[in-house]
């Protein structure tokens, strides 16, 4: 796995993020309610696994690209060693 980059939810994804993945990330960002209490927004982490981009939000939401090249939104698997 190769580390890509991190950025705050709601900010424009970096140029290293493929456009199809960025569309999925934006859809998740739009679904996150605004915080009127000033809490920090979660952050995204972009990694590459076997050449495929994966964006994971601190909350455990994951955006990947499906076989058709379209974004897929899901949850990070539970840590089986915890």
Determine the distance from the C-alpha atom of residue 1 to the mean position of all C-alpha atoms in its chain, rounded to a whole number. 16
Report the pLDDT averaged over residues 50-77: 93
pTM exceeds 0.85 for this model: no
pLDDT digits (tens, 9 = 90+) for 5-41: 999 999 999 998 999 999 999 999 999 877 777 778 8
- Give the whole-angstrom CA distance, residue 2 versus residue 11: 22
Q: List the domain boundaries for the chain.
A: 1-30+41-60
**pLDDT, position 4:** 77
pLDDT at 53 over 80: yes
Mean pLDDT of 57-67: 94
Q: For residue 41, with 0-12 CB atoms within 10 Å meaning exposed, 13-18 middle and 19 or more buried, which class applies?
A: middle
């Amino acid at each position: 796995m190769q580390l890509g980059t991190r950025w705050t939810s709601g900010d424009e994804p970096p140029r290293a993020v493929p456009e199809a993945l960025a569309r999925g990330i934006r859809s998740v960002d739009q679904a996150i309610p605004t915080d009127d209490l000033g809490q920090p927004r979660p952050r995204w982490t972009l990694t590459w696994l076997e050449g495929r981009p994966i964006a994971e939000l601190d909350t455990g939401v994951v955006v990947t690209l499906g076989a058709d090249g379209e974004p897929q939104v899901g949850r990070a698997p539970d840590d089986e060693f915890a």
